[in-house]
Amino acid sequence: MEALEALVSRRSIGGLTDPAPEDAILQRAFQAALRAPDHRLLRPWRYLVIRGEGRVRLGEAFLAAGVEENPELGETERNRLLAMPLRAPLIIVAVMSLKVDDKVPEYEQILSAGAAVQNLLLALHAQGFASMWRTGWMAEHARVLSALGLQPGERIAGFVYAGTESGISRIPSSLAVEDFVQSWPQA
Ligand SMILES: Cc1cc2nc3c(=O)[nH]c(=O)nc-3n(C[C@H](O)[C@H](O)[C@H](O)COP(=O)(O)O)c2cc1C
């Protein structure tokens, strides 16, 4: 897909099914992610790829976190948490590995991590795969971070659910550029 076409046509797709992006596709997508702008080259990101049974383990971590927050959690909600990671055949956990640096504040590193996730989404899309960037409270819960082996200073930028589009999804409304872009100073 031509680069500009990929940029303007990307959209989030929640309904995902097999096939998942294969290794060669993922390799290219991670190469794109690793080209995110990065002040002082701190590399404030890393990724975990979760497939198959790994998604079941992630659901168990979501459930453990949910039960920790509310030990009275009902069966419906328990099952919902367990099933969340099964919404796609593959999940990429985008981890922000924030560094202490005297010139690059944390927020710049978070911006770099966000740019990297966008590169990842776009590279998947350009290669014909669908994805959706998700977070939710579980992305900040200590139980989930610990289950995933995150270290002090690491946070989750997102769970990128990836696969093949299942069914028909919504077409995003197109925004008018002039509503968001002004010349400065104004005439
Ligand atoms: C950091 C971040 C976290 C997000 N978390 C969620 C989420 O947990 N659940 C959700 O439905 N959408 C979430 N979104 C929004 C979707 O990924 C998506 O951008 C939105 O539905 C708009 O669709 P579009 O990307 O096709 O324009 C998140 C977006 C960002 C940037």
CB of residue 133 inside a 6 A radius of ligand 1: yes
| Domain spanning 3-170, CATH architecture | 3-Layer(aba) Sandwich (3.40)
Nearest residue by C-alpha to atom 10 in ligand 1:
134
CB of residue 172 inside a 6 A radius of ligand 1: yes
Q: How far apart are the first and last CA of the chain?
A: 39
Q: How far is the CA of 135 from the centre of ligand 1 (A)?
A: 8
Question: What's this model's pTM, rounded to 2 decimal places?
Answer: 0.96
| Contact call for residues 122 and 32 (beta carbons, < 8 A) | yes
Which residue ranges make up each domain of the chain? 3-170
Determine the residue of 110, 135, 169, 171 to mutate for testing ligand 1's pocket, defined as the one with the most ligand atoms within 8 A of the Cβ atom. Answer: 135
pLDDT tens figures, 37-77: 999 999 999 999 999 999 999 999 999 999 999 999 999 99
Burial per residue of 136-174, b for 16 or more beta-carbon CB atoms within 10 angstroms, e otherwise = eebbebebbbebbebeeebbbbbbbbbbbbeeeeeeeee
pLDDT tens figures, 120-167: 999 999 999 999 999 999 999 999 999 999 999 999 999 999 999 998
CB of residue 135 inside a 6 A radius of ligand 1: yes
* φ/ψ (deg, to 5) at 50: -120, 120
Q: How far is the CA of 183 from the centre of ligand 1 (A)?
A: 29
Predicted local confidence at residue 113, as pLDDT: 98
CB of residue 30 inside a 6 A radius of ligand 1: no
